[in-house]
Chains A and B, each alone.
Chain A
Amino acid sequence: KNEVEQSPQNLTAQEGEFITINCSYSVGISALHWLQQHPGGGIVSLFMLSSGKKKHGRLIATINIQEKHSSLHITASHPRDSAVYICAVRKGGSEKLVFGKGTKLTVNP
């Protein structure tokens, strides 16, 4: 079993819909990252969380350390949000990140 699991694998939505992508992990962590990978391959960092909740524009990320779970929400989704969203965790004390397989989001106009 992978240490980081994301769901769903694929998600199709209509423009304007509220999107939720989930990430569960099975190890102790010091930080969790949400990343966005565009079709060309480039990856952009969205959030780093160690507790609570963060918001940036239409994106909201939450983490529940006790339940080992994080969610990424997109409000008022737009076709330009279409990308692969990747969850990654830093195990406590480690230099390495462990990555989920990603969630491919397609937002149709």
Chain B
Amino acid sequence: DGGITQSPKYLFRKEGQNVTLSCEQNLNHDAMYWYRQDPGQGLRLIYYSQIVNDFQKGDIAEGYSVSREKKESFPLTVTSAQKNPTAFYLCASRALHGDQETQYFGPGTRLLVL
């Protein structure tokens, strides 16, 4: 089955620690995205990548970093500079068929600070 996998499902971070959230897709999509979801708020874009070896900051990139060394993989690192990392993190990709686009989402990773 094609889709997006994220791991782990739950992640605990200690003060001053960097943690990396995994996102893998086997859909052969070029565009991939990381979103953060907080209670009562809409999804907010952290980083996105339209092609391998290229990525751009989204609306809330401070305290986060990404890489896109392979088409299938788009890991997100939450650095110690992110002072309020507790949130639900969603990875997504986009499929384009003519003028139709479809968004695909992973199951998410819930990050909690110890």
Point out residues on A near B: beta carbons under 8 Å: 2, 4, 31, 33, 35, 40-45, 48, 50, 86, 88, 90, 95-102
Q: How far is the CB of B58 from chain A (nearest CB, A)?
A: 7
Q: Is A97 a contact of B103 with CB atoms below 8 Å?
A: yes
Interface residues of B in 81-114 (CB under 8 A from A): 88, 90, 92, 99-108, 110
Least CB distance from A94 to B in Å reads 10
Say whether B61 faces chain A, with CB atoms less than 8 Å apart: no
- Interface size of B as a range: 20 to 34
Whether, in the assembled complex, B16 has its beta carbon less than 8 Å from a beta carbon of chain A, the answer is: no
B107 and A102 within 8 A (CB): no
- How far apart sit A4 and B44, CA to CA, in the bound complex (Å)? 13
In the assembled complex, the CB of B8 is this many whole angstroms from the nearest CB of chain A, namely 13
Among B44, B58, B103, max chain A CB count under 10 A is at B103
B positions within 8 Å CB-CB of A? 31, 40-45, 48, 50, 56, 58-59, 88, 90, 92, 99-108, 110
Contact of A33 among B45, B50, B103, B106 (CB under 8 A): B103
- List, in ascending order, chain B residues with CB within 8 A of A95's CB: 31, 48, 50, 56
| CB of A84 to closest CB in B, whole Å | 10
